[in-house]
Structure 1
Amino acid sequence: MQDDALIEPSEGPAFAIRHPDGASEVVLVCEHASKTLPKALGTMGLDEIKLASHIAWDIGAQAVAEMLSDRLDATLVSQRFSRLAYDCNRPPEADGAYPVRSEIYDVPGNVGLSAKDKARRADAFYHPFHEAIDALIEARLMAGRSVVLVTVHSFTPIYFGTRRHGHLGILHDEDSRLADVMLDASAALELDQVLRNYPYGPQDGVTHTLQRHGLTRQIANVMLEIRNDLISDDAGQTIWTGRIAELLGMSLARLNGEGQA
């Protein structure tokens, strides 16, 4: 391992790709898939309970993303290290890429990072992950394939002491094409508590991946946020994979039928 490397060869790479040759037009992304920290960063001053909590990863999101990938034959790109090391849904210039505090918890390992420290983190985690997504999408577009970007996240049922009652958030930035049809389809499927830009929205800085890979290429894109107590076990993950697969299927049929995708 080079002196400035954050990921040992035995730990790498920074990302994983599932079904790289997937036939679906959907490209799935899971930026907060893992709670794993690279050995070089130790525990970042956090105990085991905090390192297993939502501050370290999106609980259940990777499992749902993998099941969707299998069910749809859709390629999935996942980050293999905790967002505490680097939040891959934030650009390198954003303070939130290196969170010094997550909800009510301080993150000692991110306090006082120098510009060099931040660049080292971005080089280890952010750039390889997003360059892999860039390469995948560009290759498909060059081959004349349609591409739809779907990112998979989860959120906590209680945030700063306030209970969140929504089940599924459909998030978008300036391009709401896919979100609009998904919200319409969720009503047709009688799915409960499916909400637009919930529990966050673009004003909260959560749509970086959509902006970088979707908006810049004018491909349909959406960010999914599932309440994590609904997908914390196999049964819940299976249920929500089925619901989202059906929702995506209906939505993409409508979108393609309108000639907008």
Structure 2
Amino acid sequence: MMGILTGEEGEPVALENVAARGWVILVCEHASRQLPKSLGTLGLSEEALASHIAWDPGALGVSRRMAGMLDATLVFQRFSRLAYDCNRPPESPAAMPEKSEVYDVPGNSGLDRAAREARTEAFYLPFRDTLSRLVRNRIEAGRPPVIVTMHSFTPVYFGKPRAVEIGILHDADTRLADAMLMAGAHGPYEIRRNEPYGPEDGVTHTLREHGLSNGLPNVMIEVRNDLIKDEAGQGVVAGYLTGLLLEGLAAVQ
């Protein structure tokens, strides 16, 4: 299976504010719900394709605002995680999920090795390599970066409401997460460690691949998406998270 992306559809990964002088690199793996034309709708309804299974609503808006406040470079995936979830390695079933939450994904069912490799080459490898080059260039320039991945989650999951509003997630390196959790302990939001997901759910792949492997401070931020459903909410949350992140960085650097 060749030619998943046409020339008119552009690159699978986007870089914004490449010449940023700040220390942070923001990463948004689930920024878009767009599917390449070659994959059609993957057999899903418009309702499903607009839902959280296809993307992280609000995450890109918050990321862009934070990039401006922090003078940070932003890296994001331009196509839906249903085509390929760039926060998962190629060998993970979740990279091209056959089922996501309550939805079966017919277009991902029974993919053979060639189809999986084609998607990996079309989406994951360009994303991984772009981020790797950016990190390497910063390290070689004497400006080792801080890796911050940005996500959103649903207020209700399988019928159960979630009380957590902001999740601060980490893998083996807890330095930045610890500092941010301490800074946000008495703030306006319900902030929790490794909720609503954690390393055991496989969500820290990008942190491990680009942060831990290079000894860089890193953290994953999850925001409940009802808080960032419009521009006003995205601005408020971006401002709060920027302050929280700067407090955390001041404590660990």
Q: Mark yes or no: TM-score above 0.5.
A: yes
Cα distance, 1:253 vs. partner? 1.1
Q: Deviations over 1:196-216 (max 9, x none)?
A: 000000001110000100110
Q: Does 1:204 align with 2:207?
A: no
SS, match of residue 59 in structure 1: coil
2:235 matched to 1:238?
yes
Cross-structure match for 1:219? 216
Mapped contact 2:135–2:144 kept (Cα < 8 A)? no
Deviations 1:158-199 (A, max 9, x none): 1111110111000000000000000011125x2321000000
In structure 2, distance between residues paired with 1:132 and 1:36:
20
- The CA RMSD over aligned residues, in Å, is 0.8
Shift of 1:139: 0.2
Partner residue, 1:58: 56
> In the aligned structure 2, how far is the partner of 1:79 from the partner of 1:221?
19
Secondary structure at the residue paired with 2:184? helix
Distance 2:208 2:200 in 1: 13
Q: Distance in 2 between matches of 1:154 and 1:185?
A: 21
2:68 maps to 70
Alignment of 1:95-174 (within 5 A): 95-174=93-172
Q: 1 CA distance for matches of 2:245 and 2:169?
A: 14
Cα deviation code 1:87-110 (max 9, x no counterpart): 000000000001111101111110
Separation in 1, partners of 2:126, 2:23: 23
AA of the residue aligned to 1:41: L
* Equivalent residue letter for 2:220: M
Alignment partner, residue 259 of structure 1: none
Distance 1:89 1:146 in 2: 22
Residue type matched to 2:218 in 1? N
Q: Distance in 1 between matches of 2:182 and 2:9?
A: 43
Percentage of matched positions with identical amino acids: 53
What one-letter code is carried by the residue in structure 2 that aligns with 1:5? G
Contact 2:28 2:77 in 1 (8 A): yes
User: Quick one: which amino acid aligns to residue 42 of structure 2?
Assistant: M
SS at match of 2:121: helix
Partner SS state of residue 191, structure 1? coil
Give the one of 239, 246, 253 matched to 1:249. Answer: 246
Shift of residue 146 of structure 1? Answer: 2.7
- Superposed displacement of residue 133, structure 1: 0.3
Structure 1 gap segments, 5+ residues each: 257-261
For residues 217 and 97 of structure 1, the distance between their equivalents in structure 2, rounded to whole angstroms, comes to: 23
Q: 1: distance between equivalents of 2:43 and 2:144?
A: 45
What residue number does 1:195 align with? 192
- Mapped pair 1:178 → 2:157: no
Counterparts of 1:163 and 1:106, CA distance in 2: 22
Mapped partners of 1:143, 1:193: distance in 2: 38
